[in-house]
Amino acid sequence: MDGIIAPKADTATGCHGGRETMQEAARAAGKSEMMDRLAADYPRGPHDQPQSMCPAFGSLRVGLRMRRTATILSGSACCVYGLTFTSHFYGAKRTVGYVPFNSESLVRGQLYEDIRNAVHEIAKPEDYDAVVVINLCVPTASGVPLDLLPKVIDGVRIIGIDVPGFGVPTHAEAKDVLAGAMLKTARLEAEAGPVARPRQQSDLPTVALLGELFPADPMGVGAMLAPMGLGVAPQSPAREWRDLYAALDCEVVGAVHPFYTASIREFQAAGRPIVGSGPVGEEATADWLDAIGRAAGIGQSKIDLAKARALAPIQAALAANPIDATITVSGYEGSELLVARLLIELGARVPYVGTACPRTPWSEADRQWLEAHGAHVQYRASLEQDMAAMKDVRPDLALGTTPLVQAGKELGIPSIYFTNMVSARPLFGLPGIGAMAQIVATQTRGADRFSRMVSFFDGVGHGDTAGYGTQGVPDARPEARARYRKLREAKAKAAANQSMGS
């Protein structure tokens, strides 16, 4: 098929390796427009690329969480193995489709034909509303043209997206790639004529929340909005196709996770105003209710009523749950700035907030607030930056990614995984205050355990004493290391002499 080229052999370095070569290959294979779009939506820098899991996991997860949606991966078997493993680790309980390929089927264009056949086979309206096909790194670099797939088969939408690791920096933003593509299709359908009625639709004008939230959070936000006569729309990413229409039908969008650039573009195309930040703690909640009320055209007296009802118990809860601790915050969920705001309002000292997500207008108010309260905010934070901050600050508690938590524990610093511990608890309103105070109290109370652990493991687990399979503490073998160093040096010297002689 025209436009299909195989990536050069030196791109086999896999994740995050050979990115420029892969990008060149994708552009040469006709994907320039898509690469430009990704670069504009998900800007890089200041450093090279954050170190999160395969970005495509974000899109895969969004597809797998939707009812009546089939998800098919097109990519190298090793990538697909890792992605399916991770999806089942997170309890997907859904089949992940896979269209395998080899060098020949890729170069000859047979892979595209195989994908098209698979899509036709699976797109049964009695089973599915939509079929999602995700191009991973190699098929994207090779120009497999998912945009040529039929848009609809027997009423089943076909959503083909490119989610290469060399174009989408984090798995958080990959959620937006699919959420945005689905919103676009749903918006065009709604503009073209009548669409299916959402299963649950509020009688009130609604606020659509952007981001994967703790399940109880939208209900809590709904209670805060009620005095303004507003309800909550089904959130995006959606759980069912028809919910996309209800989300698009909102009065205003709350971009509580600020990196959903493609989704925001679709809401804006539907004429919906966007409000950044989110209702955490006291000040952000007051500002957010003001901004949402104004954007929805609500009168000031109703906005004031909503604020009065929400803020009094929040003030009481903040006063009743003080935190006296220094905490560093880092993660790749997109809610890091909101978490840091809440911690500071609870009394914590937060000198550093790192997020793998990019800077966007929708977190600007949070950035300014945090910096005014003494925090350094690092967008597109690298693991090295997060580690350096933790080592420099030596906090009472570090919230972070898996490798950061591991490093923190080795240093005897209480550390917890942002995604599994913080994102798995409420964040907004009263429940958010209680949950955050409890997390910090539990973890900092156990601080001595970490020092005991460090002294217990002192001398093992590093360098020559790493590994397992011995009965006792592994012996350090410095003489073996010295012997092999001498051998290597002698070999290098001999090679140098030989090349000088030839």
The footprint of ligand SF4 (CB under 6 A) covers: 14-15, 54-56, 75-76, 79, 82, 136-137, 165
Q: ∠ CA 192-204-209 to the nearest 5 degrees?
A: 75
Q: Which is nearer to ligand SF4, 69 or 84 (CB)?
A: 84
Q: Across-strand partners of 327?
A: 397
Q: Which residues are CB-neighbours of 213 under 8 A, at least 6 positions away?
A: 235, 256, 427
Q: Which is nearer to ligand SF4, 75 or 278 (CB)?
A: 75
Backbone angles phi, psi at 97, to 5 degrees: -75, 150
**CB neighbours of residue 139 within 10 Å:** 29
Which residue in the shown chain puts its C-beta closest to ligand SF4?
A: 165
Q: Which is nearer to ligand SF4, 82 or 434 (CB)?
A: 82
Q: How far is the CB of 75 from ligand SF4 (least distance, A)?
A: 5
Assess contact for 8 and 107: CB atoms under 8 A.
no
The Cα–Cα gap between 36 and 41 comes to 9
Q: How far is the CB of 164 from ligand SF4 (least distance, A)?
A: 6
Assess contact for 174 and 212: CB atoms under 8 A.
no
Q: Which is nearer to ligand SF4, 3 or 82 (CB)?
A: 82
The Cα–Cα gap between 368 and 496 comes to 57
SS3 268: helix
Q: How far is the CB of 102 from ligand SF4 (least distance, A)?
A: 16
Q: How far is the CB of 447 from ligand SF4 (least distance, A)?
A: 37
The Cα–Cα gap between 3 and 107 comes to 10
Packing angle of the helix pair 300-320, 217-225 (nearest 10 deg): 130
Q: Across-strand partners of 400?
A: 417
Q: Give the tokens for residue 46.
A: 């200041």
Q: Which is nearer to ligand SF4, 281 or 358 (CB)?
A: 358
Q: Which is nearer to ligand SF4, 83 or 247 (CB)?
A: 83
Assess contact for 133 and 15: CB atoms under 8 A.
no
Q: Give the tokens for residue 176.
A: 């937006």
Rg of the Cα atoms in the chain: 25
Q: How far is the CB of 379 from ligand SF4 (least distance, A)?
A: 21
Q: How far is the CB of 35 from ligand SF4 (least distance, A)?
A: 14
The Cα–Cα gap between 31 and 46 comes to 25
The Cα–Cα gap between 454 and 447 comes to 11
Q: Which is nearer to ligand SF4, 161 or 325 (CB)?
A: 161
Q: Which is nearer to ligand SF4, 85 or 484 (CB)?
A: 85
Q: How far is the CB of 445 from ligand SF4 (least distance, A)?
A: 39
Q: How far is the CB of 25 from ligand SF4 (least distance, A)?
A: 13
Q: How far is the CB of 82 from ligand SF4 (least distance, A)?
A: 6
The Cα–Cα gap between 502 and 498 comes to 6
Cis peptide bond N-terminal to 431, omega within 30 = no
Q: Which is nearer to ligand SF4, 57 or 369 (CB)?
A: 57
Q: Which is nearer to ligand SF4, 14 or 351 (CB)?
A: 14
SS3 106: helix
Q: Give DSSP secondary structure letters for 29-43.
A: IIIHHHHHHHHHHS-
Q: Which is nearer to ligand SF4, 382 or 415 (CB)?
A: 382
Q: Which is nearer to ligand SF4, 79 or 343 (CB)?
A: 79
Q: Which is nearer to ligand SF4, 76 or 335 (CB)?
A: 76
Q: How far is the CB of 167 from ligand SF4 (least distance, A)?
A: 10
Query: How far is CA 305 from each of CA 19, 112, 224, 285, 330, rounded to the nearest angstrom?
Result: 53, 57, 10, 13, 35
- Residue of 342, 329, 323, 333 lying closest to 444 (CA atoms): 323
Query: How far is CA 308 from each of CA 181, 263, 281, 301, 321, rounded to the nearest angstrom?
Result: 39, 32, 14, 10, 20
Q: How far is the CB of 258 from ligand SF4 (least distance, A)?
A: 23
Q: How far is the CB of 260 from ligand SF4 (least distance, A)?
A: 21
The Cα–Cα gap between 30 and 75 comes to 18
Q: How far is the CB of 163 from ligand SF4 (least distance, A)?
A: 8
Chain mean position to CA 29: 28
